[in-house]
Each structure stands twice: as structure tokens, then as C-alpha cells.
Structure 1
Amino acid sequence: MTDFAARRTMMVDTQVRPSDVTKFPIIDAMLTVQREDFVPSGQREAAYMGENLDLGAGRVLLDPRTLAKMLDALDVAQDELVLDVGVAYGYSAAVIAHMAEAVVALESDEAMVGEAQDALMSAGIDNVITQAGALHEGAAEHGPYDVVIVQGGVAHVPDALLAQLKDGGRIACVFMDGALGEVRIGYKLDGRLTWRRSFNAGAPVLQGFERHDAFQL
């Protein structure tokens, strides 16, 4: 029988801590949440790999290092509301739920929404709202949000999503340019967003987040 607890500890010790992620809430959440319960049953053995886990249809579960470093840069506080975009089977939302007051977990795939709800319930996590809907449209009815995090690549961030971020809020995205990508953190102040580069990472660009080139007549 696989010792997933040992794998979880190894994930944190070899993928998360060496990446300069030392905040206790992140370490504690990643040691607590059973990642193998938030992937398709046939991929449980691969749940702790140090790379993106392919979920099919252009979707991935971000590798532990990338998620941990995004959360480290966002510095989520216990009184904050977080919009988690593209949660797939709910792992990221489960981790963030340990740090935030509440999480709105947005997923476009109806089957994944149901699986995420079941996994979160089984884990005893009760401060996550799972929501089905187009990822690029966000979930305005529950906002505005202190923090927004996108669980996949983007070439462009839709205005509808940025509008749901509170003034003083932060957003984290993996910006892709071809095969190369970098995580940037956006800070909203006085209605304006300023992006800062954080670290290199990669992920497939999510539907609705493709680059929109200007039409030429």
C-alpha cells in the first residue's frame, strides 16, 4: 500500500521548502491536504510528482512548487476572500482554504465540479464554495475578492476577472509566451493594476485566456 503521507512530506521537503517557501500556513496546508484525493483515481500514484499533472483537455494540476510559490507571493491572510479559477478537482482550493476566510472555487467542467465538491466534503473543508461557470468570466456574484489565483496559463487576463478584484487586492497568473512562462503578481491600487514578475513556470493556456490580437482592416 502506498504511503502517501511520506510522499506528502517528501513533496514539501524536496519541492516546496527548497524553493524558498517558508510561510507556516502554506507548509502546514500542503502537509495536511491529501493531494492524491484531488486527482482522478487512475493518477493517484502520480499525484506527488514535481511537474504539472496532465488532466486531459488542455488542463493540468499545477506542480507543487508553482502553487506554493504563487501562494507565497500572494501572502493570503486569514480574513480574506479568494477566487480560485480553474480548480479542476479542487486541490488548490483545499490548500487555500487553510489560509483564507473563504474560497470561491470556479471550474468550467461540470464533472470536475462534482468531483471537487465530493473531495472537499470528504476532507472536511467547509469554507469553499464550488461554482460551475466559464473561467474567464469569474464569479462576480460572490465578489469582490481580496485575492484571485488562476490555475493554468494565460496569454491575456480578461477585464471581467480584473474587475472582481478589490482595490488593494492581488492576482497571480502564469503568463505564457509560446513555450516559456512566468508567474506575475498583479496589484490593484486606485483602480489600476500593476504587474510584477515573480518566477518562471509553465502551464497550458486556459480557454478564454488566449491572446486577443487586434483586428486589422
Structure 2
Amino acid sequence: MDLPNLLQVLGDYDAQSSVVEAIYRMSTSFERSKCVTQWFPDLDCTLHSLFIRISEFDPDCRRFLNAFNAFHGDNRKVYTLPCLSAIIGKLPLSKPKDPSYQKFWVDFNLGSQTILLLCHKQPDIIRMESSASPPWESLVLDQDDIQKVVLTRTVQVYILEIVMVKVEKVAELFSSPLSLEIKSRLTEVFVFEFAPTVVLEKVCALLFCEKFKIVALEPEGWVNIAARASCTQSGVRISWQV
């Protein structure tokens, strides 16, 4: 089976997820337990266990692929980071409401040159639209539709501002119809908040190149130990200049 070898080559989380789903559809539980070390010979036993224990597909596949991509360090083509908050203009977003979806994940896809965000509109906005529970939104921000990206570093939080080419492109990201109330809240600006991490700086520089700039608001001489630690834990190696 050649599908497992595609996972490291594919630079898109959705594509990786589709490959894992295909493997599961084409194999039995016994075959997966028997062949997992052959399919993924470079992975350790923890990742093998995460793979063969996939049952509730979306959250279990997410756990496996997050660990799989992080395992490959600098060679990975998908970087996944949990954000603290996300908002488009005046429209707040939240993580999917599935209790097994523990964090608000943002996927930075170097292969497809996109950012993927699985989300819900905030509960108060949902109630204004309908009493029914809405489906997840899968927002894909394409590099070609992005005008500029600014990362503002502070001591306690990193703020990532993504400015789209025009607000119409933002409305097109949603799969479900948007009410006039929702549309009135939209602007071309996405704002994400992350815990300080150098991994975010690295992946934004790789993904956005000349569109990307950093605004440092930390005190002069400040060294963020937490950001360094997250960098080391994620397998990213950066030359530090203090």
C-alpha cells in the first residue's frame, strides 16, 4: 500500500485526512494492527498506537496527524497550532462544538499554500440566525487571496492579522448562506491570537514570504522562554540572536 507514503509528501491537512480515511476504508482492523510498523517504519510506537486506535474519525485522525506532522520537525509540510481566539472583522469564531475537539486548531499548509480553520460562528450569532445547530465551517484562506500578514509579538500573546484582498473573498469562504447580520459584521481582516511560539513566526515566513512582517512590542532585550520551549518541543531549529 503506497498511501501511507503520501502523508509526508502532502502539504495539506485536508488531503492528509482523506488519505487516512482511504487507508481505513481499504483495510481491516487486523491488517492495520499487523502492518502499521511496515506502513510507517520511521514512526515510534506512540504514533503507531494513535493510528490504529482511530475510531471517532475526525478527532482521532486529528490527534494522529498533529503528532505525525510534528514528528517530522523541519521536514513537515503541515504546521498545526492551537489559537486562543479568532475573529473576522466583528464576527467572533469558536472551535467546533464537538466535546472531543479539545482545541481551536489552525492548519498552515505549505503544499497547498493555504490556512485551514474549522470553526463555528459564536453562539450569540448563531441564535440570531437560527435555533438549529449549524454545521462546522471549513474556512480555507488561500495565499493568492491574501494581501498582507502581520504578526505582532507581545509578552503574553502573539497576534496574527491576515488582510484579505477584498471582503467579498471572505464571504465566499463560508459554505452555509450568510444572513445580512453576519455579512454586516465581516471585513477583510482576520485576527488570531496565539500563545507565544517561534513556530508561528517560522511557518508564516515560509508561507507568506514578502507579504509577512513582524512587529515586536516586547520590552527591549526580552527573551521569551515559553516561545523557545514551544519551538524545541515542535522539532523546529532556529538560530537565536539575542
Q: What is the TM-score of this pair, normalised by structure 1? A: 0.31
Q: Find the structure with the greater CA-based Rg.
A: 2
As a proportion of its length, which structure holds more strand?
Answer: 1
As a proportion of its length, which structure holds more helix?
Answer: 2
Q: What is the TM-score of this pair, normalised by structure 2? A: 0.29
